[in-house]
Structure 1
């Protein structure tokens, strides 16, 4: 267990053209995060396609178990020693459709967390998950959440009771939701005495223009560091276990 964990939240403007161009850009951004010493990199919700749900009518927009299109993502994680969390539409082996966060580990394994609190058209496209998935990176436990999950206090509380040190949210918050973003991330961190992390989709989306603000919140609920704009940006912070101990 390490005293410090360096993490990069990637604010990401998804590219047109499907999964492969976005995998290539994820690889480039993971290399950028490595230069800042990151051990964990978190991308936004649906980062491998963008949040454009009509595109999911195309079967190629969905990932499947052992999908070869992720080979370069596996390779960059193996080479750098980084665990990377990307967002995608995913079909399980039995065909169950999920709005997923896939955690690619340096040892070649992949874990999957599923959005628990679906809303709007998501409800007809995906099956909901049951709880936040916990990752372990250098002895730190990181709970994965997706967008609306962060609006439900019980979601983060359950993760904290299971031992989470970090509540990592992959999301799309638009300019109309900037106030909600600050409340959600600050409250989830403060209520549970954990670090909060947001990786927000950037740029213009069918839901509206991103408000940016990807970054980090301390266990006191106060913002630590955030993106300067609304486009693609790597935001890196060093999380200290002593800060968690101070408030627990």
Structure 2
């Protein structure tokens, strides 16, 4: 592992007695191999915890890879034992962790794209993608979102990829008092400039920090752009992972502003 330190804005922030260390996990997913991906997640979680991270965000569909054709066969349930393993680890590490997976509805009739928050209590807290990318509707059904993730003095609002392409989604988060807008994504090279521009604009417009976790490489036939990033509430980009490849972006906010670093992960 190697470290690259970056320092962000120095605008005054409201007092927080114990600043949270936030992190985006830019991880690779093995297509359809949930067991391998769970092991990879567990290792990322351990590395992040060693750095003092208290909130860890993985990319969209991180536990299966972005593999729509396989989604139904790989889909999780809310009480899935594979999630329990990850939840136990998150609780042991005292680290709120958001992972991505296809999720069966309670009737098992539908499959949705979910972001599952672990480490807060006994089970997973569910957020389901509200806005599908073109073509996803052939496999997935539209989700209903989910409640904010509240811990310590923070309120995190989640977004899964195309959710943030709708300005009202970020507006709703800001109106609800989000202290962080956390987007789990798969963004390719051609779309990166536009999509990162939207996220940066939300941070500036709503005075709301934005954290984005992208895939580290190819998934579902798409070449991810990587470059997971954090934007401060001023719109300034605090830090960004350089290109593709596995790594962590770790950041903290104090009364004097943001400090961030990136960490190359070799598994």
- Tell me if both proteins adopt one fold, taking TM over 0.5 as the criterion: yes
Unmatched tracts of structure 2, length 5 or more? 1-15, 259-267
Q: Specify which structure has the bigger relative contact order, considering alpha-carbon pairs within 8 angstroms and separated by 6 or more residues.
A: 2
> Please, what TM-score do these two structures have when normalized by structure 2?
0.85
Deviation at 1:188, TM superposition (A): 1.4
| Kept after mapping to 1: 8 A contact 2:29/2:219 | no
Match of 2:75 in 1: 62
Question: Map of 1:43-122 to 2, 5 A cutoff?
Answer: 43-57=58-72, 59=73, 61-95=74-108, 96-122=110-136
1:211 aligns with one of 193, 212, 225: 225
| Kept after mapping to 2: 8 A contact 1:3/1:241 | no
> Please, what TM-score do these two structures have when normalized by structure 1?
0.91
Question: Map of 1:188-227 to 2, 5 A cutoff?
Answer: 188-227=202-241
The Cα offsets for residues 146-187 of structure 1, whole Å up to 9 and x where unpaired, read as: 111111111010111111110000001111112113212101
- Root-mean-square deviation (CA, aligned residues, Å) is 1.8
Distance 2:237 2:104 in 1: 35
Unmatched tracts of structure 1, length 5 or more? none
The Cα offsets for residues 120-160 of structure 1, whole Å up to 9 and x where unpaired, read as: 22112222223464101212000000111111111010111
| Kept after mapping to 1: 8 A contact 2:126/2:146 | no
Distance 2:254 2:141 in 1: 36
Deviation at 1:2, TM superposition (A): 4.5
Moved over 3 A (4+): 130-133, 240-244
- Residues 1:170 and 2:201 are matched in the alignment: no
- SS of match in other structure, 1:44: coil
Match of 1:21 in 2: 36
Deviation at 1:235, TM superposition (A): 1.0
- SS of match in other structure, 2:164: helix
| Kept after mapping to 1: 8 A contact 2:27/2:247 | yes
The Cα offsets for residues 39-89 of structure 1, whole Å up to 9 and x where unpaired, read as: 1100000000111211225x2x10012101123202211211011000000
The Cα offsets for residues 179-198 of structure 1, whole Å up to 9 and x where unpaired, read as: 11321210111111111000
- SS of match in other structure, 2:65: coil
Larger relative helix fraction? 1
Distance 2:169 2:18 in 1: 26
Match of 2:4 in 1: none
Deviation at 1:239, TM superposition (A): 2.7
Distance 1:178 1:127 in 2: 25
Deviation at 1:94, TM superposition (A): 2.1
| Kept after mapping to 2: 8 A contact 1:131/1:155 | no
Match of 2:10 in 1: none
Distance 1:145 1:241 in 2: 27
Count, aligned residues: 242
Change beyond 3 A, Cα 1:92–1:165? same
1:33 aligns with one of 40, 48, 60: 48
